[in-house]
Amino acid sequence: MNTNLDFYDDFLLEEEWKPYKISDRCFLFSKTVINFIQMCKYDRIYFSIFDQLVRSATSIGANVIEGKAGSSKKDWIKFMIIALKSSNETIYWLTLISETLSINQKEIRTLIHEANELSRILGRIILNARERN
pLDDT tens string 46-77: 899 999 999 999 999 999 999 988 789 999 99
* Other Cβ atoms closer than 10 A to 84: 21
Phi/psi for 53 (5° steps) reads: -60, -50
7 located within any domain: no
CA distance 71 to 80: 14
114 located within any domain: yes
Cβ neighbours of residue 32 closer than 8 Å, sequence gap 6 or more: 3, 4, 5, 8, 111, 114
Predicted pLDDT of residue 14: 47
8 located within any domain: no
CB 108 within 8 A of CB 37: no
- Nearest by Cα to 91 from 132, 125, 60: 60
CATH number reported for the structural domain that contains residue 71 in this entry: 1.20.1440.60
16 located within any domain: no
Mean pLDDT, all residues of the chain: 88
10 located within any domain: no
The boundaries of the domain holding residue 80 are: 21-131
* Other Cβ atoms closer than 10 A to 13: 10
Predicted pLDDT of residue 19: 67
104-127 residue pLDDT tens: 899 999 999 999 999 999 999 999
Provide the domain count of the chain: 1
